[in-house]
């Protein structure tokens, strides 16, 4: 069996890859593993369970709740809320485990299960591996130890979760948003109620699109993966800025008043400068990934802010932040982590903090984002190749060296193996878009011929 857990939980086509039986079994296994690890010692365990609005989330939530309760865990069912809300509530309520059912930015037929440890932090790799091992062991025949009578878990609908999370978002904002007009694209997802409520309570005039989830329309032509609707709405309503979330609202991209995209690197740059001015950017350092735009790195150098780069994936950004005590980190895709106020990427919090900076300075978002000049970046996926040889192929190494020589100090090349598919990602940055496209195309051809 291949590893169930990826870099962001277990994900697949609901009712095909991700079945009710798998959801129930993993939940029971998680309860047993955390009990073995001493997480539940001395008290009756509690779990927070939430989901995004996907239709499949309804039966998967029922399976997870049944699994946890059958293992003796009391369940607080919080309903449809963003992933960062479930993480926050897990910590805030002192729960022993959090479970979120979502496939984030994936299409509607997919779904996923993400577990949080006590405090609202992602589970360590070794705990995920142990959960998978225990699940497989019992799936093939060994019976579970099951509590009976008063030992079974009780299930409660925790309706206060919405207000508790929104109040938290408002409480950590550095200033109000009065006078700002903001368009919010909720991707027909988990933040469809939360985000408009939070922005309105913070004082903004709010226009919403993509905020009518019906279980089937999540991420459908809207949200952070499809910005055209948001661009048009911002211009039409003459808004100061637009904010786009994905299905579970753990990421945020933005649009300025002219309808131009502001990506995760630019958002990080704006927030890094703001936090440094306020004395909140610990060690004057921001954490990004190897995919961070060269323009972002140059901007941070000019501002006297150190950039630490990790492997791609918000979990690696978070590991670096926790290990070194850094306050801010994120990815170009819009996963931004403000560790003083959240244990994971929080799209609503990020959007609020970005808007707060606009309100506090009186400057436009375009002006603020101008702190960095984004270099043209071209990404080409080369499928159906032996990705294991990308680091050892002499033909590929020669082609990369030739490309780096051509680009000089004004660009860079990055070849990366996909973590889930048989493909190699070729990324090229250059001062000129056409040059970036040409170099990326040449490298992709070499990768295909050498590794195909």
**Residue 354 maps to which CATH number?**
3.40.120.10
Is there a single domain that holds both residue 245 and residue 106? no
Instruction: Indicate the helix (H) or strand (E) that contains 26.
Output: helix 20-36
- How high is the mean pLDDT of the chain? 94
Q: Which residues pair with 242 in a beta bridge?
A: 183, 255
- For residue 394, tell me if it sits in a domain: yes
d(CA 101, CA 8): 11
Q: 56, 104, 320, 333: which is the annotated catalytic residue?
A: 104
d(CA 70, CA 38): 19
Is there a single domain that holds both residue 59 and residue 106? yes
Token representation of residue 2: 């291949």
| CA proximity to 230, closest of 202, 252, 198 | 252
d(CA 44, CA 141): 27
How does pLDDT run across 110-153, given as a tens digit for each residue?
A: 999 999 999 999 888 899 999 999 999 888 777 888 999 999 99
Is there a single domain that holds both residue 233 and residue 282? yes
pLDDT band of 293, cuts 50, 70, 90 = very high
pLDDT for 8 equals 74
d(CA 290, CA 148): 51
CA dihedral 159, 163, 169, 174 (to 10 degrees): -170
pLDDT at 185 over 80: yes
Is there a single domain that holds both residue 241 and residue 312? yes
Is there a single domain that holds both residue 153 and residue 238? no
Domains held by the chain: number: 3
d(CA 387, CA 422): 6
Report CA-CA distances (Å) from 38 to 31, 33, 64, 117, 143: 11, 9, 21, 12, 21
Is there a single domain that holds both residue 295 and residue 223? yes
Is there a single domain that holds both residue 334 and residue 232? yes
Tokens 């984004």 locate to: 374
Residue 425's domain is classified under what CATH number? 3.30.310.50
Is there a single domain that holds both residue 337 and residue 403? no
- For residue 2, tell me if it sits in a domain: no
Q: What percent of the chain has pLDDT over 90?
A: 84
pLDDT band of 266, cuts 50, 70, 90 = very high
- For residue 1, tell me if it sits in a domain: no
Which long-range contacts (C-beta less than 8 Å, at least 24 apart) are formed by 206-212? 206/182, 207/181, 207/182, 207/183, 207/233, 207/237, 207/239, 208/183, 208/184, 209/183, 209/184, 209/185, 209/233, 210/185, 210/186, 211/184, 211/186, 212/188
pLDDT band of 369, cuts 50, 70, 90 = very high
pLDDT for 2 equals 55
8 Å CB contact between 238 and 291: no
**Domain final residue pick, 369, 401, 430:** 369
- For residue 187, tell me if it sits in a domain: yes
- For residue 116, tell me if it sits in a domain: yes
How does pLDDT run across 392-447, given as a tens digit for each residue?
A: 899 999 999 999 999 988 889 999 887 667 789 999 999 889 999 999 999 999 99
pLDDT at 227 over 80: yes
**Residue 201: how many CB atoms within 10 A of its CB?**
16
pLDDT for 427 equals 92
**Domain final residue pick, 161, 196, 226:** 161
Instruction: Indicate the helix (H) or strand (E) that contains 369.
Output: helix 365-369
Is there a single domain that holds both residue 382 and residue 262? no
Is there a single domain that holds both residue 277 and residue 357? yes
8 Å CB contact between 296 and 269: yes
Question: Nearest 5°: phi and psi at 268?
Answer: -60, -40
Instruction: Tell me, yes or no, if 56 is annotated catalytic.
Output: no
Mean pLDDT of 43-67: 98
8 Å CB contact between 105 and 225: yes
3-state DSSP call for residue 317? helix
Query: What pTM value is reported for the model?
Result: 0.92
Q: How many CA atoms lie within 13 A of 295 on its CB side?
A: 21
- For residue 4, tell me if it sits in a domain: no
pLDDT for 351 equals 98
pLDDT at 45 over 50: yes
pLDDT for 420 equals 63
Give the residue ranges of the annotated binding site for Mg(2+). 104, 246, 248, 250
Give the residue ranges of the annotated binding site. 104, 246, 248, 250
8 Å CB contact between 354 and 270: yes
Token representation of residue 331: 């990815």
- For residue 136, tell me if it sits in a domain: yes
Q: Which of 181-195, 220-234, 388-402 has the lowest mean pLDDT?
A: 388-402
Is there a single domain that holds both residue 334 and residue 383? no
d(CA 158, CA 148): 24
pLDDT band of 1, cuts 50, 70, 90 = very low
| CA proximity to 269, closest of 321, 336, 349 | 336
Q: What percent of the chain has pLDDT over 70?
A: 99
The range of the structural domain enclosing residue 196 comes to: 175-369
Question: Nearest 5°: phi and psi at 317?
Answer: -60, -45
How does pLDDT run across 313-345, given as a tens digit for each residue?
A: 888 999 999 999 999 999 999 999 999 999 999
What is the 8-class DSSP label of residue 111? E
Is there a single domain that holds both residue 334 and residue 388? no
Instruction: Indicate the helix (H) or strand (E) that contains 28.
Output: helix 20-36
- For residue 238, tell me if it sits in a domain: yes
């Amino acid at each position: 069996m291949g590893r169930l857990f990826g870099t962001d939980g277990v994900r697949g086509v609901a009712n095909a890859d991700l079945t009710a039986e798998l959801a129930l079994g993993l939940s029971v296994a998680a309860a047993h593993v955390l009990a073995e690890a001493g997480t539940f010692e001395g008290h009756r365990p509690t779990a927070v369970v939430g989901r995004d609005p996907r239709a499949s989330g309804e039966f998967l939530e029922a399976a997870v709740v049944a699994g946890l309760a059958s293992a003796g865990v009391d369940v607080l069912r919080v309903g449809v809320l963003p992933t960062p809300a479930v993480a926050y509530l897990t910590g805030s309520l002192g729960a022993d485990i959090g479970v979120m059912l979502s496939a984030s930015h994936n299409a509607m037929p997919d779904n996923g299960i993400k577990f949080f440890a006590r405090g609202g932090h992602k589970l360590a790799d070794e705990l995920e591996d142990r959960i998978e091992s225990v699940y497989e062991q019992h799936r093939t025949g060994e019976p579970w130890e099951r509590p009976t009578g008063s030992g079974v878990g009780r299930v409660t609908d925790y309706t206060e979760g919405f207000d508790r999370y929104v109040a938290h978002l408002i409480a950590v904002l550095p200033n109000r948003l009065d006078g700002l007009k903001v368009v919010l694209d909720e991707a027909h997802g988990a933040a469809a109620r939360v985000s408009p409520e939070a922005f309105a309570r913070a004082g903004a005039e709010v226009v919403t699109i993509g905020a009518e989830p019906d279980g089937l329309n999540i991420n459908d032509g809207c949200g952070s993966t499809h910005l055209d609707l948001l661009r048009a709405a911002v211009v039409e309503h003459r808004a100061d800025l637009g904010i786009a979330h994905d299905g579970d609202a753990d990421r945020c991209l933005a649009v300025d008043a002219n309808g131009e995209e502001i990506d995760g690197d630019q958002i990080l740059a704006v927030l890094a400068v703001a936090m440094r001015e306020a004395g909140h950017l610990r060690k004057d350092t921001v954490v990004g990934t190897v995919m961070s735009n060269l323009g972002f790195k140059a901007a941070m150098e000019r501002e006297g802010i150190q950039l630490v780069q990790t492997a791609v994936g918000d979990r690696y950004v978070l590991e670096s932040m926790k290990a070194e005590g850094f306050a801010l980190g994120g990815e170009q895709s819009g996963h931004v982590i403000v560790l003083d106020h959240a244990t994971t990427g929080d799209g609503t919090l990020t959007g609020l903090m970005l808007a707060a900076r606009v309100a506090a300075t009186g400057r436009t978002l375009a002006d603020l984002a101008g702190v960095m000049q984004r270099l043209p970046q071209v990404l080409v996926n080369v499928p159906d190749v032996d990705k294991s040889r990308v680091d050892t192929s002499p033909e590929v190494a020669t082609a990369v060296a030739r490309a780096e020589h051509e680009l000089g100090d004004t660009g860079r090349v990055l070849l990366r193996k996909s973590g889930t598919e048989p493909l190699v990602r070729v990324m090229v940055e250059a001062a000129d878009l056409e040059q970036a496209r040409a170099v990326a195309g040449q490298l992709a051809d070499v990768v295909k011929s050498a590794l195909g």
